[in-house]
Chains A and B, each alone.
Chain A
Amino acid sequence: MKLTPRKQVAFGAIALVLGACASAPLFLSNYPLFVFSLAIVNAIAVLGLNLVMGCAGQISLGQAGFAAIGAYATALLVVNLDVSYWLALLLGASLAAICGYILGLPALRLGPLYVSMVTFGFGLIVVIIVQNWYELANGPNGMIVPPPVFFGRELFPREFHVAIVAVVTLLFLLARNIVDSKHGRAFIAIRESELAARGMGVNLAHYKTTAFALGAFYAGISGGLFAGLAQFINPDAFVFPVSILYVTMAILGGISTLVGAAIGSAMLTALPEVLRGAAEYKDFLTGFLLLLLLIFLPNGIVGFVRQRFIGVLPAETGYSSSGRIAMHDVLPTTLHRRERSEKETLLKVESLSISFGGLKALQNVNLTLGSDEILSIIGPNGAGKTTLFNLISGLDRPTTGRVVLDGADITGMSAHSRARLGIARTFQNLDLFGEMSALDNVRVGAHTRLESSLLQAALRTGAQRAEEARYCDVAMDLLRFVGLERYANQKANSLAFGHQRLLEIARALASAPKLLLLDEPAAGLSSSELDFLMVLIQRIHKEFGISVLLIGHTMRLVMTLSDRVIVLDHGVQLADGLPTEIQRNSRVIEAYLGTDDA
C-alpha cells in the first residue's frame, strides 16, 4: 500500500523517537537513564488514562492505585512464589484490570460525580491497605524487588531500559489499534453522547467497564515495570498526588491523543530533575500547572499544535480522523434490498402508556407498521411523539403496553439490543458525535455490524482489517448517498445544520436497519433541502426496502411521503388513516387549531 505524505512523516517521526529511546543506554549515564526509563514507565500509566478519560470520557482519579496493584502483585509473585518477572508483570496487570472492571460497574448508572469519587476512594484504599498490612509487604517500610530476570540472567538497568522501550512500543501499538477500531469509536461515541451511542447499538455497560479495565491494565503494567526498575516499592510511590500527576501528564500532552502521553510524561518526569532545588514545590507546581492547563490549554500540547498547524500536511478527502481511506465504489449495494411481502407486519405497538411523575405522556397508543410502509406521526408540540420514539427505540421503558418487532416482544430489551435487531433512529435536536469526523460518525452507526473482538482489534488481525475496511467503504458510500462525501473528514459539529440532519440519516442507515425512525427530519431545513430530503427518504424506502416511521411538522413532507398518518395529541391517539382522510378529520383539525403550534 502506498503511503501518503502524512503517514510518511508520522512513520519517520516514530522511528526516530523509538531509535533515540532504545539507544539511550549507549550515551546516558546511570541516573539520567533511570529518569528516562521512569518517564517511559509513567507514559504507560498515562496511556491508560488517555483510553479511559481521553477516549471514553470517564473520569479516573485512581490511576496510581491500579499501578500499586500491578507493582505489588508483580513484586509479591516474584519474591514469594518465584514466578518469572514477565509472567508476574502480566498477572499483576490483569489483576489491576479486574479491579478496574469491577470499579467500572458503578460507572454504568452513575454520573461523573460518583465515578470521580469511587475512583478517588479506590486509590486511597489501596494505599491504606498496603500501609497497614505489614505481613503482606512490610507496610510503610516497603519491599525490595529483585532485578528482573530474562532467560536466566539478571538484567542490568541498561538492558531493562531496552525492554521497557519494547513494552511501551507494544502497548502503544495496541492502544492505537484499539482506538482505530469499532471499540475505540464506541468509546469516543460514549464520551460525545451516551444517548446517541445507545441508539447506535453501543452497549454502554460493556464499553464503560472495558475502558476502565483497559486503563487499569496499562496502569498495572506501569506499576509492575516500576517495581522492576526501582527494585524497591513502598506505598508512597502510589499516593493520590501521583494519580494527579498522571492526570496532569495526560492533559499536558493532550488527553485525547496517544502521542500526548509520551510528551506529557517525558516533560513532567524530567521537570523535577531540572528544578532540583525546588523539590518541596513539586506538588504545588503540579497542581498549579494542571489548573493553568485546564483553563488555557485544555487540549494539551498536541491539541494546540494540531489546531495551530493543521493543513501543513495535506489531508485528502475520504480520510477518517484515523487516516483510513475508502477505496472502492460499492454504491448502491451497500445496503442490500430486503426481501419482503406486502402484508407482513414489521412493528406492532400495543396499548403503550408511560408517565413521568404525574404527567401521562402517552396513553394507550396502538400502531402497526407494515414492512412496506412509510407511517407518519403528527401532532402538536408535547403530544408525545418523541416519547413514542424513545419507547420504540428502547431509550425509555413504558409503564404498560408492548412493543413487538417481527413478531417478537422487545418491550424489555435494551436500546443497544434493539439497534442490533434493526431499529435505527435520528434525533429531533440532533445528537451527533460532535468531535468525530462525519465519516467516523457513520462508522459508529455500523457498530452492530462489525464482529471483531477487542483482542482482534488490538492485534489488528487480517479479518479485522478487512472488516474495518469494508465498513469504512460502506460509511463512505452512505455519505455519498446523502451528498456529504466532501465533508467526510470534517468534524460533525463543524457541519452546517442541514448537513448535520443528513449525517444523522446516514449514520442511522449504516446499521442496515429494518426500521428507520426519523424524528422531525425536516425541521430547520430550507425548501430545497426539503426537496432533497424527500427524494432521499423515498429512495431509502424503495431502494433499500427500509420501513420508515416519521415524525413531522412539515405538511408537505408528511402528506407526500406517507402511506398512513397517525395523529397524537396530549399523549392520546386521535386518528389513524390515509393522509387524505386525516386532512379532513374534524377532531384532528380541532386539535391543531386549538393550539398555537400548528
Chain B
Amino acid sequence: MTCGPNELVVELLSQVLISGVTLGSLYALVGLGFVVIYRATKVVNFAQGEMMMLGAMLALYFYSDLQFPYFLAFLLAVMLSGVFGAGLERFAYRPLLNAPVLTLILATVAVGQMIRAGVRILRGSEVSRFPSILSADPFLAAGVAVTPLSLSIIAIAVFLVCAFMLFFRKTKLGKGMEATSENREAALLVGISVNQTFSLVWAISSGLAAAAGVLLAPLIIITPEMGTIGIKGFIGAILGGFNNIPGAIAGCFFLGIIENLGGVYIASSMKDVVSFIVLVLVLTVRPQGIFGAAEGKRA
C-alpha cells in the first residue's frame, strides 16, 4: 500500500488518538477512584497508583502463577484490592479522621510507599509481562489500525465507569456516599453510618484502581514502580474538574490524548513531563479545571 505524506500524518494521528483513548479510559478508572475518595474525605490518596499496581500484581499472580482463568483472576484481584482498601481505611486512615488534611495526605503517601516496598520485598524487583489475553495485532477499522486488546480495554473501562456512575447516582448506598461527602455530621444525623460509608468509599476506589491495573497490565511492563502511572488519573481528574465527575472523566481522556501527542511530537520519555506541565498550566489559568464550575465561597 502506498500512502502520500498527508495520509501518513492522518494515520499517525489516528494511532495516537486510539492509544490516547485507551490510556485515557484507564486514567478515568483510576481518576474516578481519586475523585470518590476526595469528595468523601477531602484527601488526595497518594496510594491510589499503588492500589493499581497491586491489582495488576494480584491478577498476574492468579493468572500466571496459579493458572486461574482470566476472568476469575480479574475478579479476585479487584475484590481483594477492595478488601485491602477497606482494611487500610479501618487501620490507617480512620484513626486520623479528625487530623488535619495534611496529615491524612501524608498517611496515604506512607501507605503507598509501604505497598510499593512490600511488593518489591515479596516479588523482588524483577519485571514481569502480563500474557496478552487478546491479540495485539492491529486490524483496520474505517481506515484506522486498532487492536482487539485496546478495544477491549476501552470497552471494559467505559463499562465500569458507567456502572459506577449508575451506582453512585441511583442506589441508596451511592446517595449515602454523596451525602456523607457533602456534610458528614448531617449524614450521621439522618442515619447514614459514616464509618461504613467510608469503608465502602475506600473499597470501591481501590477496586476501581485495581481494575485499571489489571486492564493496563498487558500494555506495559509490570514493576512495583508502575503505580506512578496511576497518578495520571489524578492529574486528569484535576484537569477536568474535581467537583464534577463527568468533567473529571473527560479530563482523563483529554490527558491520555495530550500525552500521546506529546510522546510523538516531543519525546516519549517526556510524556510524564508533558502531563505535569499541562497540569500546572491549566491550574494557573483555570484552578477549577476545564469543565469544573467555580466553587461559590463565603468567607
Count, chain B residues at interface, CB 8 A: 45
User: Residue A110 at the B interface, CB < 8 A?
Assistant: yes
User: Residue A562 at the B interface, CB < 8 A?
Assistant: no
Contact partner of A124 (CB less than 8 A), chosen from B109, B110, B238, B276, is B276
User: Residue B3 at the A interface, CB < 8 A?
Assistant: no
| Residues of chain B from 50 to 80 with CB closer than 8 A to chain A in the complex | none
Q: A110-B287, A114-B283, A280-B121 are in contact. Are A59 and B276 (CB under 8 A)?
A: no
A356 to B107, CA, bound (A): 36
Could you say which residues of chain B place their CB within 8 Å of the CB of A294?
96, 99, 103, 106-107, 110
Is A118 a contact of B284 with CB atoms below 8 Å? no
Could you say which residues of chain B place their CB within 8 Å of the CB of A390?
299
A525 to B224, CA, bound (A): 59
Is B111 a contact of A287 with CB atoms below 8 Å? yes
Is B103 a contact of A109 with CB atoms below 8 Å? no
Is A283 a contact of B273 with CB atoms below 8 Å? no
| Residues of chain B from 258 to 299 with CB closer than 8 A to chain A in the complex | 267, 269-270, 272-273, 276, 279-280, 283-284, 287, 296, 298-299
- Over the window 72-97 of chain B, the binary record of Cβ atoms lying under 8 Å from chain A Cβ atoms (1 yes, 0 no) is 00000000000000000000100110
Is A251 a contact of B102 with CB atoms below 8 Å? no
Is B117 a contact of A284 with CB atoms below 8 Å? yes
A121 to B235, CA, bound (A): 10
Give min CB distance, A410 to chain B, whole Å.
17
Could you say which residues of chain A place their CB within 8 Å of the CB of B96?
294-295
Give min CB distance, B124 to chain A, whole Å.
9
Give min CB distance, A83 to chain B, whole Å.
28
- Over the window 108-123 of chain A, the binary record of Cβ atoms lying under 8 Å from chain B Cβ atoms (1 yes, 0 no) is 0111111011101110
Contact partner of B92 (CB less than 8 A), chosen from A114, A251, A286, A291, is A291
Count, chain A residues at interface, CB 8 A: 49
Q: A116-B44, A284-B121 are in contact. Are A61 and B101 (CB under 8 A)?
A: no
Is B273 a contact of A113 with CB atoms below 8 Å? no
Is A59 a contact of B102 with CB atoms below 8 Å? yes
A179 to B276, CA, bound (A): 32
Contact partner of A121 (CB less than 8 A), chosen from B92, B95, B267, B276, is B276
Is B242 a contact of A290 with CB atoms below 8 Å? no
Give min CB distance, A269 to chain B, whole Å.
17
Could you say which residues of chain A place their CB within 8 Å of the CB of B284?
105-106
Is A395 a contact of B299 with CB atoms below 8 Å? yes
A570 to B296, CA, bound (A): 19
Contact partner of A283 (CB less than 8 A), chosen from B99, B102, B103, B116, is B116
- Over the window 225-268 of chain B, the binary record of Cβ atoms lying under 8 Å from chain A Cβ atoms (1 yes, 0 no) is 00010010011001000100000000000000000000000010
Is A132 a contact of B269 with CB atoms below 8 Å? yes
Could you say which residues of chain A place their CB within 8 Å of the CB of B106?
59, 247, 251, 290, 294
Give min CB distance, A76 to chain B, whole Å.
20
User: Residue B120 at the A interface, CB < 8 A?
Assistant: yes
Could you say which residues of chain B place their CB within 8 Å of the CB of A284?
113-114, 117-118, 121
Is B296 a contact of A357 with CB atoms below 8 Å? yes
Give min CB distance, A464 to chain B, whole Å.
31
A129 to B118, CA, bound (A): 27
Q: A117-B44, A288-B110 are in contact. Are A295 and B279 (CB under 8 A)?
A: no
User: Residue A195 at the B interface, CB < 8 A?
Assistant: yes
User: Residue A298 at the B interface, CB < 8 A?
Assistant: yes
Pairs A–B under 8 Å by Cβ, sample size 17: A59-B102, A59-B105, A113-B44, A118-B276, A120-B231, A124-B276, A128-B269, A195-B299, A244-B109, A244-B113, A247-B106, A287-B110, A288-B110, A290-B107, A294-B99, A294-B110, A390-B299
In the complex, besides A118-B283, A357-B296, A396-B298, 14 extra interface pairs with C-beta distance below 8 angstroms are A59-B105, A114-B283, A118-B276, A121-B235, A125-B276, A244-B113, A251-B106, A280-B120, A281-B117, A287-B110, A287-B114, A287-B117, A294-B106, A396-B299
